[in-house]
Structure 1
Amino acid sequence: MAIAIACFVAVYGVIGGRLVQYGLSEIDSGSRYSAADRSLASRPDIVDRSGIVLATDIRVASLFGEPRRIVDVDEAVEELASVLPDVDYKEWHRKLSSGAGFVWLRRELTPRQQADVLALGIPGIGFRTEKRRFYPGGPVASHILGLVNIDNAGIAGIEKYVDDQGLGTLQDLGLDVDTELAPVKLSLDARVQHIVRDVLVDGMERYKAIAAGGVVLDAKTGEVVAMVSLPDYDPNNPYNALDKDRLNRMSAGTFEMGSTFKAFTTAMALDSGKVDLNDSFDASRPIQIARFTISDFHGKKRVLSVPEIFIYSSNIGTAKMADVVGIEQHREFLTRIGLLTRMETELPEVAKPTQPDEWKKLNSITISFGHGVSTTPLQTAVAAAALVNGGTLLKPTFLARGADHAKVLGKKVLDPATSDAMRYLFRLNVEKGSGRRAEVEGFVVGGKTGTAEKVVNGRYSSEKRFNAFLAAFPMDDPQYVVLAIIDEPKPEEGKSGATAGMNAAPMVREIVARSAPLLGLMPRFGEDEDALLVSY
């Protein structure tokens, strides 16, 4: 019994002693290991649909000090300042005089800086190899890929999504250190992503706009093939990433989408069975309701058929179609196709649409032509895909998704006959309406313009516009939906107009013309396309 008691006392005495030792150790000394483990943890590469690397880890050296081994603090700081820029004398002196076991001095040095410090030969100064995230494309896909912090933890975009799937927890626990991980494959096409950004940058300059954005969406699967919001930032040097104007406008910004909403109002009216393509509505006089007057921008001042209401973008005709359907059914339809609820996708930065708390007749009328409801451009494109793909609503995804998986996830929200009618109207608008400048020979583009006046000091301003063009192609069997937006554009040099047909539509034309061949679509010319293909 004495021997047993002695053994128990000895074992628990050792445990107690170690606990006391850890309790008395310096905080910096303990943080050395957690910081090193977190910064050394691997992140998976992020690649596009073809395997092109969009984000990867590279090894960098970070400078640390061991104050207990520093012989002369003043001399050490002076020597380090001689080879490193912007040394904070007071802060470094405080750290190296603290008596701690470990302190960080500077993270992520260049190889030249590391060599210069090593040449100094200062005792108590050393390097730890860390991993830094590198984005080969720079700002090309910044709002999608997101960011990591100094410890290589995801804080935005797909990087944060990857951590939220459990990677961050494993790294925090030290269970994933310096381990190769399978790459995360996105639905993006890096080539199309570059094209969209190039077109938007050119458009912002040409039309002297404050912002622009665009998305290319696979209408059959819901995959985001490309998405850009400008101004953007370089994730390799994200000094301005938190600036207000760097917001991801496509998924985290809400806007009144203007006349692009007329596509949804028309689809609603046709799908209700209360309106068909052969119906007509009197648009000869403005609508007076309460203290407001609803008129047309370029009114025809006559009775218009449903196709004419669409291609002439008649506010009066669209409002009357919404009135036929009714307020409650109007609200239910927009909810059904996902325009009034928060969109679900992998990006953490997703805004919730805004709508009136109580819908009255005036609300329904103004919402019918795109005023009174604010939604994100991305979910506008997603809802449009349902209009043209046969009536199936698909949640958008930034990850690779097969056609079979998409069929399982899809939700039927429209009658196929309604989708057929909308394809006809989209195409008609590019052939004869406000979308003529979006035509791309050989690719059968269809679409709808949207020119929305912005609210300034509580009133709609005729001087500031938010323009959009919502398109799909090829319209006989739409494969892709394209949406381009441009904020506060000015008339192009030598021209007087600044409506969506003058700026957003040409931007879509350029995106389609340059990206369609890369997406595997062959152009077709004339009415004998089949014979032409056989001849090749």
Structure 2
Amino acid sequence: MIRTPLRPLARILDAREKGENPDAIERENKRIRHEQMRDKARMRAEGRLLVLGVCFLCAFTVIGGRMGLLAMSEPSEPRGYAPGAVISASRADITDRNGNLLATNFETHALYAQPRHLIDPEVAAKKLVKIFPDLKEERLIKDFTGKRKFLWIKKKISPEQMQAVHDIGDPGLLFAPRDMRLYPNGSLAAHVLGGASYGKEGVHAAEVIGVAGAEKYFDDYLRDPANGAKPLELSLDLTVQAASERVLYGGMKLMNAKGATSILMDVHTGEVISVASLPDFDPNNRPRPLTKGDASDSPLFNRSVQGVYELGSTFKIFAAAQAIELGLFNADTIIDTSGPMKVGGFRIGEFRNKNYGKLSVADIIVHSSNRGTGRMALEIGIERQQEFLKSLGFFEPTPFEIVEASGGKPLLPSRWTELSSVTISYGHGLSSTPMHLAAGYAAIANGGRVVKPTLLKQSGPQLGPRVMSEETAAQARMMLRKVVTDGTASFAEVPGYQIAGKTGTADKPKPTGGYYEDKVINTFASIFPIDDPKYVLIVTLDEPVETSGPKPRRTAGWTAVPVAAEMVRRIAPLLGLRPAVEPVNNAVLTLTSSN
């Protein structure tokens, strides 16, 4: 910046020559300089005022526009969650193999309060207690008159309850829309479905999450919006499931059992058509888990995949089938089952101290001889027995698609000795679940191929590795059929449907060690129809006792077998199995005449 001097020398000299006062030149220059400074300051102030005015104009325009939008929008309740939080409330349906609904969503509401907006907190509390008797009036009054700004009152309410709260007319009582998980069939297939609850919650939506069963196992699939309206299709048949549960419940009561389970499996696909565990529960109102005592006392306990039991003589067919497969014996080979028999210093006895003498392998299965299967196990050897049972899946939890199945790991002996090998051959010393047993019998039924139990509907056979030849499997099925016609499962005969199977009566172990003398786990593992095997049916009863006779009877032939037979009688027609026409004796035919 160039500054002009107040007393320029040239003008001063010129003024002196003319006799003028040089001070006048300085005063004039000061006046010009001050006017320039004043003009510049005025322009700067005017610019600032202009910018400030524009800012105020923009601010008032934005505020006015926002007020106009709010005035035109629909009123809504304030949100009770952090800004930006997104809650996905959608969840896919679950259906059976025929498209029948097992689980779906139902629109309902939750009730919450904003205490600061309550007109009369005490009156509101009294009226709410009349509508919801489980609420505590004193607690509500304390919450309504305290410092809380938000309060959940009920997570799910019915339309009638919602209308009653509306009638209270207090603006501090508000409703939040909800998608509630609904199980329209009540307790049917409860242990399979499991149940659902709420995860993240807000006043405008709530996240529905699985807490047990298939709901939890398939939680990611059911919550994935990419699946759209496509339901999760299970292998269950709703009508067969209902019939199975009804028969099983009746059988459990008739046999005075503590609990029961049944499994119906397709032997070619591994599909579980029905699976029941009793006692059960309603997943719409899922009970709380037990915090002490025996887990099996809870209705939440799933005996089909969590019940790890010694399954008794049902294991004997595995020893016979492996011995035949290895070429050590055939169905007609004679084995001396006479006593005494000692292994590892322990005596191997028979049921009720019977002595069967010399029996064929087939008759060993028919008469359920412990010594006979024990001698076959000694011929097979420890390593080969382990490999065979491992190939059938008895060393790991089943891959059945509910979360509880992962906890059903078989209990194996810490040291697999010759004594272990013998006792395991007749179902003691190795504990597994009824689901394991169903998969093992399916391999015998389908001709010797492993199948994995599954809860999902399959498009065709899902046969795994071969564990025995078709000839061996056929001989095993023949022996199981003789158990029904000539052995311990005679009550399993159902007209029109030929059934094969094996009974198993196992003493129930005490928690402190040893076995109860009057408590058993009874199982009947069956295959039907035996001429063209399609299904395996397992029925297991916990602590049954049949009391119709003069003495209580606790063997599987008297308890589990009649229940399984009645179940086949009910469900076979539902499965589309036509009864075989039984041959009629000509002697019963008579000729009649109209004369």
- TM-score, normalization by structure 2: 0.78
Q: Distance in 2 between matches of 1:205 and 1:307?
A: 34
1:292 matches 2:349? no
Change (3 A) 1:82 1:471: closer
Judged with a 3 Å threshold, the aligned counterparts in structure 2 of structure 1 residues 82 and 377 are, in CA distance, closer, same or farther, namely: closer
- Separation (CA, whole Å) in 2 of partners of 1:248 and 1:85: 33
Residue 459 of structure 1 pairs with residue 514 of structure 2 = yes
Equivalent pair of 1:48/1:187 in contact (CA under 8 Å)? yes
Q: Is the 8 A contact 2:338 2:358 kept in 1?
A: yes
**Candidates 138, 153, 157, aligned match of 2:213:** 157
Between the aligned partners of 1:127 and 1:449, the Cα distance in structure 2 is 57
Give, in angstroms, the shift of residue 388 of structure 1. Answer: 1.5
Distance in 2 of aligned mates of 1:274 and 1:327 = 15
The aligned counterpart of 2:445 is 388
The 5-angstrom pairing of residues 306-385 of structure 1 reads: 306-350=361-405, 351-385=408-442
User: Structure 2, unaligned stretches of length 5 or more?
Assistant: 1-50, 56-78, 200-207, 585-595
Which residue of structure 2 lines up, in the alignment, with residue 468 of structure 1? Answer: 523
Structure 2 equivalent of residue 25 of structure 1: none
User: Relative to structure 1, is the Cα distance of residues 181 and 95 closer, same or farther in structure 2, using a 3 angstrom cutoff?
Assistant: farther
Q: Could you tell me how far apart the structure 1 residues matched to 2:343 and 2:164 are?
A: 76
Distance 2:83 2:559 in 1: 55
Q: Who is 2:356 aligned against?
A: 301
Q: Residue 438 of structure 2 contacts residue 525 of structure 2 at CA under 8 Å; is this kept in 1?
A: yes
Shift of 1:95: 4.0
Q: Percent identity?
A: 38
1:30 aligns with 2:84: no
Where 2:187 maps in the other structure, the secondary structure is helix
Which residue does 2:327 correspond to in 1?
A: 273
Deviation per CA, 1:231-260, whole angstroms, max 9, x where unpaired? 111112223565832210101120000000
Instruction: Please tell me whether residue 418 in structure 1 is matched to residue 418 in structure 2.
Output: no
Post-superposition Cα deviations, 1:345-399, rounded to whole Å, max 9, x if no partner, equal 2111011111012211111111110000000101111111001211111111111
CA contact (8 A) 1:29 1:101 kept: no
Q: Which has the larger radius of gyration?
A: 2
Deviation per CA, 1:497-531: give whole Å up to 9, x if none: 22101111111101111111110111112369xxx
Distance 1:373 1:81, change over 3 A: same
**Which residue does the alignment assign to 1:52?**
100
CA deviations on 1:63-88 (whole Å, 9 max, x unpaired) are 11123423443343234334332322
Deviation at 1:97, TM superposition (A): 4.4
TM-score (norm 1): 0.86
The one of 573, 580, 589 equivalent to 1:524 is: 580
Task: State how 1:376-525 maps to structure 2 within 5 Å.
Answer: 376-404=433-461, 406-407=462-463, 410-456=464-510, 457-494=512-549, 496=551, 497-525=553-581
Aligned match of 2:316 = 262
| 2:151 corresponds to | 103
1:355–1:372 Cα contact (<8 Å) kept: yes
Corresponding letter in the other structure for 2:383: E
Q: Cα gap change, 1:231/1:31 in structure 2, threshold over 3 Å: closer, same or farther? A: farther
SS class of match (2:319): helix
Q: Structure 1 pair 383/427, CA: closer, same or farther in 2 (3 Å)? A: same
1:185 and 2:214 equivalent? no
| Separation in 1, partners of 2:287, 2:396 | 33
The runs of 4+ residues in structure 1 deviating greater than 6 Å are none
> Displacement of 1:341 after TM fit?
1.4
In structure 2, how many angstroms separate the alpha carbons of the residues matched to 1:95 and 1:517?
Answer: 60
Task: Please say which of residues 118-127 and 179-188 is displaced more in the overlay.
Answer: 179-188
Q: Which runs of 5+ in 1 are unaligned?
A: 8-27, 529-536
Range with bigger deviation, 415-424 or 443-452: 415-424
Tell me, in whole angstroms, the C-alpha distance in 2 between the residues paired with 1:94 and 1:266: 72
Aligned equivalents of 2:524, 2:262: Cα separation in 1: 10
* Aligned mates of 2:130, 2:485 — CA distance in 1: 69
